[in-house]
Structure 1
Amino acid sequence: MVLEWLLEMAWGFAKLLIHPVFYFTFLLAAFLGVSRVKRERSHFHVRAENAYYELRQLLPLGLLLGSILSIIMIAAGVVIPLAAILFIAVITIVLSIRVRLLSSVYTVGLTFFALFFTAGKDWSIPLFPDLFSSLEDKLYPSITVLLALLVIAEGILILKNGKKGTSPKLMTSKRGQRVGVHELKRVWMLPLLLLVPGDALQQLPFEWWPVFNVGGEGYGLLLVPFALGHYQHIQGALPAQAVTHVGKQIMAHGFVLTAIAIASYWLPILSLAVVAIGILGREVIYFSQKTKEESGPFYFSKRNQGVMILGVLPHSPAQKMKLSVGEIVSKVNGTIVHNEAEVYEALQRNRAHCKLEVLDVNGQVRFVQRALYEGDHHELGILFVQDEKKWGTEAV
């Protein structure tokens, strides 16, 4: 009997993969990958990562975080109304026009207000005749707990995954100088197993759906995919440092929201404070980072000491020599270089071997060398701030 129940439940999870956000998030990640590759090719005539890179980042860490959050929420007895799940799906798709808006403070926050204004309404939609009339005030703190925990997960995703594979691009500064910047535009999927009211599940077209009773109340489990996105423009610092800083800020923001959300079970008015503080705090983080980047000098610009590395192509000789973004190539095969053309002129003098003198991000000198083979990338695989206009002009 237990085995049969588990098999039916697993089959139910498979059916729930028809959730529109599940497929929409895959399509969005694929679109971001293709768009990035097109832009990189227009700027450098070569792409950094392939178009599948965003898709490969979509799920692995999200699955782990989703499992942890699912255990926490189920163990704490956090119940999410079915109406909230439907609102979140619709709002997620609408807000996807701007990747940075795919944060739980916006998707779940707007859902909170939507529930607030629709609760108790005698509206009927297909398959869910009592969707709004059955909403109870005690469910609002649960929405804010979901919001807060997802903000923590968003911070972890940015911190651990966002700093990987930021995309280099070329721009023209207001002074007409050609400079390099990095861009992070990423979306992740985080599947959560949520507790929902049992009477809501009985409205679904799956009559066999298992419902269990706790304290005289019926509950069910529903597997729900959440889309979390992040956008960051980086021009005044190393990409990894800038992304790490924002990730830590968002994590801290999530912990503050979680504390207030837990308190809202005893003082329900705090639920409104969680949503308001969540949206306001996320906006402050975004605009403070944006202002800091725009007011400071460009990190990837021409340097007197040599040529700064804006990007390193995967599986290239440069990556095998462990060259990093932000390092400065000062000499190539013993010749001092000041631009990309001089780098490759120096390489042509010895096509079988490459010896570089490099200043690392701490200003320390190091030497790297490697034999070059016929199958190696013809330009080492280093992306520089180019001296010649090989790309579409974009002002900043």
Structure 2
Amino acid sequence: MALDWLMQLGAAALKLFIQPIFYFSFVLAFIVGMFRVARERKDFGTRIYDIYQEIRFILPASLAVGAVLSVVTITAGLAIPSGMLNFIAAVLIIFSIGGFFLLSPAWTMTAAYCIFVLSEWVNVSFIPYKNLGFEAILTILAIVTALLMIVEGVLIKKRGYQGTSPRMETSPRGLKSAVHLARRLWLVPVFLPVPSSRPLTSFADWWPVIDTGAESYSFILFPFLIGFSMTVRSTLPALAVKSTGRSVIGTGIITLFIAIGAYWVWQLSAAAVLFAALARIAITRRHYNYEKHRPYFFTAQEKGMIVAGVLPASPAQKMGLEIGEVITKVNEVNVNNEREFYDALQKNGAYCKLDVIGTNDQIRFVQGSIYENEHHELGLIFAPEEKEYMDQSVFND
């Protein structure tokens, strides 16, 4: 039996590479990277990250959580008909047109659930599931939705804040400010049992936990697309993104408890997916309202210059400078704008010493070797100087 299961899992893993959605995810990430690079060049005169930045985040972290989720789905025998999985893939592709933001499982899986139910109510069954139990499939969909939401929250909390992209934005007062855009696409491959004519010997009498009425099963490695997009204006990106991740995890756990209840009362599956969708909207709305009533974080400072971005592999990154830190002195010279900053750098052609107020409000000293022709290649992106833009707005009036 063990050998049969391993062979089935191995065959399913190889079939991942014939899934169109697998390749679609990389194309989508590449296109988004192209637009991001163009925007960064327009805003700052240079790209912050290369065009492959979004592609780098697609798989590494999601493979681990996908493996954990696969253990759950295989152990519980959460079997979804292949026709339903094909329809979910179509929903994921359609929703991706609206951007990463719409690829939360709370919305994609709920949409698939609702369309599946409506198609049955109006007797237009274009999602083939043979003669399997309709109510059992709904229960499984709700449970998988909850599990994917937990996965989404974990990925947001652990990876969503890494490599955020700064961008320029005009404040309500007409002043230029820097904000950070956290945008990620993850491909989460999950092993799922599917009803099949190929017999798969059960390892226990209770497997699968939720009986769909199928007599035999095989495995498929299905790639779920999970997207995340969030603009952070009033605080450090890491703080806002991690907070959102924790909220999504909590929502996923509550959704899971409701969905498990559908094992006894199948109507709770509808309550579970609707709760997931509404709660995810509430999380997004809460962040929007929080940002709406707070001042911009990356703006001109009374003293020093706030770091809005650090270029990868730059001297600034090697010195350990981080987003959100404030540089108050360069080579013992007070600085309050970019001209003063680079003039102070040129006072020493071999190295620079910076007085920095860290994100923990503690003062620290940073120094590193530089060369005379690298003064303007330190790799720092600063928040725009308000005075400059105020003068321009007066002139334009």
TM-score, with normalisation over the residues of structure 2? 0.89
Q: Which amino acid aligns with 1:283?
A: I
| CA distance 1:370–1:36, change in 2 (3 Å) | same
Q: Secondary structure at the match of 2:163?
A: coil
Aligned-CA RMSD value: 2.4
Once the two structures are superposed, residues 329-367 of structure 1 have per-residue CA deviations (whole angstroms, 9 ceiling, x without a partner) of 111111111111110111122222201111112322211
Q: Does 1:346 align with 2:344?
A: yes
Deviation at 1:287, TM superposition (A): 1.0
For 2:57, the equivalent position in structure 1 comes to 57
- Conserved 8 A contact 1:120-1:133: no
For 2:114, the equivalent position in structure 1 comes to 113
Q: Which amino acid aligns with 2:240?
A: A
For 1:42, the equivalent position in structure 2 comes to 42
- Aligned-partner Cα distance in 2 for 1:285–1:3: 45
Deviation at 1:84, TM superposition (A): 2.1
For 2:188, the equivalent position in structure 1 comes to 190
- Conserved 8 A contact 2:8-2:219: no
- Aligned-partner Cα distance in 2 for 1:7–1:40: 47
For 1:99, the equivalent position in structure 2 comes to 100
Q: Which amino acid aligns with 1:353?
A: Y
1:1-396 aligned at under 5 Å gives the runs: 6=6, 10-96=10-96, 97-119=98-120, 131=129, 134=132, 136-198=134-196, 202=197, 210-214=198-202, 217-373=215-371, 378-387=376-385
Q: Secondary structure at the match of 1:378?
A: helix
- Aligned-partner Cα distance in 2 for 1:242–1:113: 31
Which region of structure 1 is more displaced relative to structure 2, 244-253 or 365-374?
Answer: 365-374
Q: Which amino acid aligns with 1:29?
A: A
- Aligned-partner Cα distance in 2 for 1:233–1:347: 32
Q: Which runs of 5+ in 1 are unaligned?
A: 203-209
- Kindly report structure 1 stretches of 4+ aligned residues shifted beyond 4 Å: 1-9, 120-125, 132-135, 374-377
Q: Which amino acid aligns with 2:318?
A: K
Q: Secondary structure at the match of 1:188?
A: strand
Deviation at 1:370, TM superposition (A): 1.4
- Aligned-partner Cα distance in 2 for 1:122–1:259: 31
Once the two structures are superposed, residues 208-261 of structure 1 have per-residue CA deviations (whole angstroms, 9 ceiling, x without a partner) of xx4314468211111100000011010000011110000000011111111111
Q: Secondary structure at the match of 1:223?
A: strand
Q: Secondary structure at the match of 2:376?
A: coil
- Aligned-partner Cα distance in 2 for 1:312–1:259: 42
Which region of structure 1 is more displaced relative to structure 2, 275-284 or 176-185?
Answer: 176-185
| CA distance 1:161–1:319, change in 2 (3 Å) | same
Q: Percent identity?
A: 39
Deviation at 1:268, TM superposition (A): 0.9
- Aligned-partner Cα distance in 2 for 1:4–1:134: 24
- Conserved 8 A contact 1:121-1:132: no
Deviation at 1:379, TM superposition (A): 2.8
| CA distance 1:386–1:120, change in 2 (3 Å) | closer
Which region of structure 1 is more displaced relative to structure 2, 380-389 or 276-285?
Answer: 380-389
- Conserved 8 A contact 1:83-1:115: no
Deviation at 1:7, TM superposition (A): 5.2
Q: Secondary structure at the match of 1:165?
A: coil
- Aligned-partner Cα distance in 2 for 1:121–1:34: 43
Q: Which amino acid aligns with 2:29?
A: A
For 1:207, the equivalent position in structure 2 comes to none
Deviation at 1:131, TM superposition (A): 3.7
Q: Which amino acid aligns with 2:329?
A: K
Q: Which runs of 5+ in 2 are unaligned?
A: 206-213
- Aligned-partner Cα distance in 1 for 2:38–2:111: 33
| CA distance 1:86–1:377, change in 2 (3 Å) | farther
- Conserved 8 A contact 1:118-1:132: no
Q: Secondary structure at the match of 2:377?
A: coil
Once the two structures are superposed, residues 86-114 of structure 1 have per-residue CA deviations (whole angstroms, 9 ceiling, x without a partner) of 22111111111231110111111111112
Q: Which amino acid aligns with 2:94?
A: V
Deviation at 1:141, TM superposition (A): 0.8
Deviation at 1:83, TM superposition (A): 2.8
Q: Secondary structure at the match of 2:260?
A: helix
Q: Secondary structure at the match of 1:174?
A: coil
- Aligned-partner Cα distance in 2 for 1:236–1:58: 27
Deviation at 1:134, TM superposition (A): 4.4
Once the two structures are superposed, residues 170-211 of structure 1 have per-residue CA deviations (whole angstroms, 9 ceiling, x without a partner) of 12211122211100111100001101112xxx4xxxxxxx43
TM-score, with normalisation over the residues of structure 1? 0.89
